[in-house]
Structure 1
Amino acid sequence: MVSHSTPNALTIAGSDPSGGAGLQADIKTFSALGVYATNVITAVIAQNTRGVVAVEPVSVALIRTQLDNLLDDVEIDAVKIGMVASRDVAQTIAEALTRRRPRWIVLDPVMVAKSGDRLVDDEGLRAVRDILVPLADIITPNLPEAAALLGTDTPRSLSAMEAMVGDLAALGAPYGLLKGGHLPLERCPDLLWMPDGTRWLDAPRLSTRNLHGAGCALSSAIAAQLAHLPPARPDVEAAIDAAKQWLHQALTASERLNVGQGKGPPHHFHAWW
């Protein structure tokens, strides 16, 4: 997936001082996969590999100004949307991206950190579901996030995952990757839905605790791979497969890092360092 010029991608997300999740993880992922990274910050978060201490949302006015100034100047090929804490922020993002629609929008409905800390309130959740999911080309919820979007219990089996895909697709995104890593299985099954059907994407479960920001890295890797696709023949399945393979390698190589005392990050630059 190599284009003739370097594509530009945008992450709209919260920050992570430890560098493993959020905005910083997205920038690293874009860079590792040959995409120029731009960013708009939605919240300043005090966290490390052990948990979240404080969240300070950026004002809606400043988010709007960041978006307008960036999009007036830089042509964006793909956008990854992460943490969105309020309806006003969701509406601001939707208005900006509708006016200057990029080729691809990937939404990672970030609601709960790996530490279990809740990052958005109920109003923010409804805003993501009602405003941003229909805007996105692909969404990448894990099982608790999918359950939150639908107001149901978290699936505890493969059949329960399959049963919720129809309702998730009905929210408006033509593609979606329902991540099954929370199931107590020896494998990590993800279920991809597309306009023409579904497909299971299976992967081995790695014996690593370095999962801090893994969801952020996967969604931004998908955005990066989509940014490389030629407009005439976009192969979304191939982009998702490539992103999952990259993340598997990043998690495998994460033991080479020594970051924090909690859940460490994937090694975003495993192919370079």
Structure 2
Amino acid sequence: MDKHHLKRALTIAGSDPCSGAGIQADLRTFWTLGVYGASVITSVTAQNTIGVKGVYGLPGRFVALQIDSVLSDTGADAVKTGMLLTPEIVEVVSQKIREYRVKTLVVDPVILAHSGYRLLQEEAIGVLKGQLIPLARLVTPNLYEAKTLTGLERVDDTARMKQAARVMKEMGAEFVLIKGGHLEGEAIDLLYDGSDFREFRSERLNVGRTHGTGCVLSAAITAWLAKGLEVNEAVERAKQHVTRAIGSALSPGRGSKILGVS
């Protein structure tokens, strides 16, 4: 492909050795959607389809060096963040996003693994809210993350999702996408631009428990934004991609399924 037409996306996140989530899932998604993917590893996890065994965060200075290596050379048309783990890493990533004047940033505010293992330290939440989210074109919390970041008592229906979206919009993100995959009944994601809400509804596919759905969704959105789509259309196409990927989910281990390549 001609380098002048090559669209580039960068993921800044943790490594998942079973490839269901994190850096590995992001890069697979970028490739599937025709975007060149680069990666910066913030942390190394020991996990599999059953759960997380341990997490090791890299020093902030080394995360910064990785970001410099990518953005000073290939650059990126869009950047996404995933697991950031420590206050130092969140601060370093925020500094580099400002330094390189990244215009298209998708923040996936990963806080907990499905198993309950903490992937963002408590002390890092304030840094995420105060430094990184204000730089985001789009922030993509699930219901638990929206509740944690906003301080609301409950985020468990569309009315409270709208309330959470308004609170998160005040943090400075251009768009907020509250993911309602854990709602009872129909799965509803809610996109808010500060004026209007748009609902993305999808039927639940009966494939069992899956691993990495949030990572794949935010990576797919990032890929479509890198290709020049507006946020509304990027979210719509990314949702379609995730639905297909869930429908082709794989069972490589004894636990959760891993999304397939759609």
Q: Which residue of 2 aligns with 1:235?
A: 230
Q: Which residue of 2 aligns with 1:110?
A: 110
Whether the aligned pair in 2 keeps the contact of 1:210 and 1:251 (CA below 8 Å) is: no
SS in 2 for 1:116: coil
Structure 2: gaps (5+ residues): none
Q: Which residue of 1 aligns with 2:253?
A: 260
> Counterparts of 1:251 and 1:210 in 2: how far apart (Å)?
10
Task: Tell me whether 69-78 or 33-42 shows the greater mean CA deviation.
Answer: 69-78
Amino acid at match of 1:50: I
Quickly say closer, same or farther: Cα 1:154–1:46, change in 2 above 3 A. Answer: farther
Deviation track 1:22-42 (CA, whole Å, cap 9, x = no partner) reads: 010000000000000100000
Whether the aligned pair in 1 keeps the contact of 2:85 and 2:119 (CA below 8 Å) is: yes
Q: Which residue of 2 aligns with 1:189?
A: 188
Whether the aligned pair in 1 keeps the contact of 2:251 and 2:258 (CA below 8 Å) is: no
Amino acid at match of 1:42: T
Q: Which residue of 2 aligns with 1:144?
A: 144
SS in 2 for 1:13: strand
TM-aligned CA deviation for residue 210 of structure 1: 4.3
> Counterparts of 2:90 and 2:208 in 1: how far apart (Å)?
32
2:20 is aligned with 1:15: no
TM-aligned CA deviation for residue 176 of structure 1: 1.2
Q: Which residue of 2 aligns with 1:209?
A: 208
Task: Tell me whether 35-44 or 195-204 shows the greater mean CA deviation.
Answer: 195-204
TM-aligned CA deviation for residue 211 of structure 1: 1.9
> What are the residue-to-residue correspondences of 1:1-273 with 2, within 5 Å?
5-185=5-185, 187-229=186-228, 234-254=229-249, 257-267=250-260, 269-270=261-262
How many residue pairs match? The answer is 260
Amino acid at match of 2:253: G
Amino acid at match of 1:262: G
Whether the aligned pair in 2 keeps the contact of 1:210 and 1:266 (CA below 8 Å) is: no
> Counterparts of 2:204 and 2:140 in 1: how far apart (Å)?
18
Whether the aligned pair in 1 keeps the contact of 2:9 and 2:79 (CA below 8 Å) is: yes
Amino acid at match of 1:259: P
TM-score of the pair, normalised by structure 1:
0.91
> Counterparts of 2:28 and 2:8 in 1: how far apart (Å)?
13
TM-score of the pair, normalised by structure 2:
0.95
Structure 1: gaps (5+ residues): none
SS in 1 for 2:115: coil
Deviation track 1:176-235 (CA, whole Å, cap 9, x = no partner) reads: 1101111111x1011100143111111111112242000000000000000001xxxx52
> Counterparts of 1:69 and 1:93 in 2: how far apart (Å)?
13
Runs of 4+ in 1 over 3 A off after TM superposition: none
> Counterparts of 1:154 and 1:183 in 2: how far apart (Å)?
12
